[in-house]
Structure 1
Amino acid sequence: MPLHPEIKKMLESIPKSDVKEKIVLEKMREILNIPSIPAEKRVQVHSIEERTVSTSETEIPVRIYTPEEKNFYPILMYFHGGAFFSGTLESHDEIARPIAMESGYKVISVDYRLAPEHPYPAALQDCYDVAKWVTENKDELKWDGVNLAVAGDSAGGNLAAAVSLMARDKKEFVITHQVLYYPSLDLDLSEFRYPSLFENRKGYGVESDQLAEFCSFYLSGGADPNDPLVSPIKKENLKHLPSALVITAEFDPMRDEGEQYAANLEQYGISVELKRYEGATHGFLGKFTHLEEYQDVYKRTGKFLKIEG
C-alpha cells in the first residue's frame, strides 16, 4: 500500500537539503530524544519507579513500570532505540507504558551507556547485566521466576536479539520471549544486501546512506560488524533461542533484515510471529500508533507475551 497519508504529511514537513551533512551528535540527540506524546496523554500505569543497577563497570539507571498490584510478575526488559548513540528512558516512556499494560508484565526500561563515549560492547553488557540483576533479585522485584522477556526497537531490537544469544550461550539465565520492533540486525554496511535498502533508500525518515555513519559510533571501539553479537543476523546457530515477535515497517530500509532474521529463526524451529505494518516507516511506534492502522501493535505484543492461567 502507499505511504500512510499522515506519515507522508509529517515527512513532507521536514526541510529538504541536497547537502549531505555530517551528523552533529548533540544536535541529533536533542532531536531524537524528544518524546512524541505529551506526558499527560500517555497510557497510565499502576506505578513507576526509578532505580539504579550497580555493576562492576557502571551504574545503570532503570525505570520500572508495574501494570497492577500482584504477588508475582513476568518481567520484560525494554531496550530503547536511537542508533546506539541516542535515546533515553524518557524518550521511550511512551512505548514502555502500553507494553506493560497490554501484557501484564512488569517492564524494566534500561538506560544503557551510549556510543561513541561508550562503544560496543558497553550497551550490550549493560542490557545483559540488568537481565541478570532481575534474576538475582527475584524476591524484591516479585519476578515469577519463569517468564523473562526482552524487547527493543531499532538499535534496541539489536540489543534484545544479542542479549538472547548471550543468555543462551552463557547459561546464567533463560530468556523466554524476544520482541523485536523494526530491528537493526546487520551493521555490516560494506554493501547493501537487502532490497529494502534500495527500495526505501531515501525519503522515508531514516535513509540508507545514513546508516553507516549511525553505526560507526557503536563500532568506534574496533568492533567487527560480522560478530554475531554486533550483527545478530550473522549468527549461524539459532537453536534454543526464545520465541520471537518481529515487527517490521513497509517503508523502512531495515525491513528486510528483520524479516530475514525471522525466517532464520523459523529454520531452526523457533516459534516466530512476523508482522509487517504496511504504509509505515521506521520508528512508527509512539509517533503513529494513534492511527487506526497501527494502534494494535501493543495489543499484538501483549497477546504474544500473555501468560496463560
Structure 2
Amino acid sequence: MNKKNVYKMMTSEMLETLNKQAELIGDTFSTDVTYEKMRENYVSERKFWNKGGPEPKQTVDLKIEGPYGSIAIRIHYPKKRRGNGSIVYIHGGGFVVGNIDTHSRIMRMLMEETESVVIGVDYHLAPEYKYPKQVEECVFLVEWLRNHAEKYNIDPNDIALAGDSAGANLCLATALYLRDNKKHVSYLRCLLLYYGTYGLTDSKSMRLFGGEYDGLSEEDLKTYRNMYIGGENKDLRYYDCLSNDLTHGIPPCYIACGNLDPLQDDSKLLNDILTYHHQKAVLEKFKGVIHGFLHYTSIVPEAKEAIRNGAKFYRGLN
C-alpha cells in the first residue's frame, strides 16, 4: 500500500509493452501457480518478444555432459566479427523459468552490437535443482569452453559473462567462484550485469516498487528465493554475492537497471562497493522502465540503448 504508482512514471513505450503482455498472457508472472505453469506462461509470453532481430551468420546447438546431467548450449556467430572473444549469456527468470529460447533476441542483439560470439546456456532450473548447482554448471561451462576453444574458434583467454536478473546473479557468482577456487580470472574480459539480484532481501527499492506488472512483489521474491535456496543452511556467498569479498579480483563490470525496478538497490550497492575498492565498474540507470525491460527491444528504446551501451563497454576493454 506504500508503493509508488509506477504506471504514472513509465515511459509510453513501457506502458505499451504492459498492454501487449496483458493481451498475450493475462497473468504472465504469477507465482500463485505451479512452477510448471509459471514456465508455460513465461515461454508463451516471450515468444512474441523474440520475433525478428539480428540473424547470426551461423548458430550451433550443442549438448554437453555437465556435473548434473546434459546441458544445452547455443553458439551464435555474428556476420561481422571483431576478434575471437566470446560472451557467455546466462538467462534470467528467477532461477525457475526461462531458457535460451526465451532470451534469444537479447542474445542475438548482443552478438550484433559486440560483434562477438554469444553462447547461451540452459542451466538446470529450480526447484528441481537447487543452489549452488546452477553456479557450478555455469563454472563448468566456462571451463569447458576454454578447453574446447580451438574447435569453436574462440579465444580461451577472452571470455565475458553477461546476464539479466537471476542470470546477472549467476554471472557474478560464476566469476567469484572461479576467483575463489581457481585463483585467477584474468581470462574474463568483463561482466555485463543487467538488473541483477545480488543478495538483498529487503531494501528501499523493494519497498517502493514491484507488483503484478513485473512479478516482483515481496511475496514473489520470497517464492523465487525459496525455490532456489530452499530451507537448508548453506554457504550463500555465491547467491548473496554482496556478502562475498568484492575488494579484489572482480572483472570490469557494466551494471544496468531501471529506475522503477524493485531490485535496483542491489545494482547500486554492488557498484558502490566495487568502485570504493577500486574495482572497475560503471552503473547506468534507465528512467521510466521496469524490471525485465531488456526483452522489449522491439518497442522500448531504453532496451536497445542498454544492450548497445553494454556492448560499448565490452569493446572498450579490448
The two structures have a TM-score, normalised by structure 2, of 0.87
Tell me what 2:41 maps to: 31
Structure 1 residue ranges without an equivalent (≥5): none
Q: Which of 67, 71, 74 in structure 2 is aligned with 1:60? A: 71
| Distance apart, 1:232 and its partner CA | 0.8
Contact 2:67 2:137 in 1 (8 A): no
CA distance in 1, matches of 2:159, 2:183: 13
Q: Which of 193, 208, 224 in structure 1 is aligned with 2:217? A: 208
Q: Percent identity?
A: 24
**Cα gap change, 1:221 to 1:100, in 2 (>3 Å):** farther
Tell me what 1:184 maps to: 197
- 2:134 counterpart of 1:123: yes
- 2:19 counterpart of 1:8: no
Q: Which of 120, 129, 141 in structure 1 is aligned with 2:152? A: 141
Tell me what 2:3 maps to: none
Amino acid of the structure 2 residue aligned with 1:184:
T
Q: Which of 254, 259, 276 in structure 2 is aligned with 1:267? A: 276
Contact 1:11 1:205 in 2 (8 A): no
| Distance apart, 1:10 and its partner CA | 4.2
**Cα gap change, 1:21 to 1:55, in 2 (>3 Å):** closer
| Distance apart, 1:70 and its partner CA | 6.1
Aligned residues: 302
| Distance apart, 1:301 and its partner CA | 1.5
Contact 2:49 2:295 in 1 (8 A): no
Tell me what 2:247 maps to: 238
Contact 1:116 1:218 in 2 (8 A): yes
Amino acid of the structure 1 residue aligned with 2:273:
N
Q: Deviations over 1:2-28 (max 9, x none)?
A: 2112323444674999xx973321111
Deviates more, 1:233-242 or 1:96-105: 233-242
Contact 1:160 1:178 in 2 (8 A): yes
- 2:68 counterpart of 1:51: no
CA distance in 2, matches of 1:23, 1:172: 42
Structure 2 residue ranges without an equivalent (≥5): 1-7
Contact 2:78 2:116 in 1 (8 A): yes
Q: Deviations over 1:71-128 (max 9, x none)?
A: 9510111110010011111001111001111112211100000011111111111111
Determine helix, strand or coil for the equivalent of 1:139.
coil
Q: Which of 80, 83, 103 in structure 1 is aligned with 2:91? A: 80
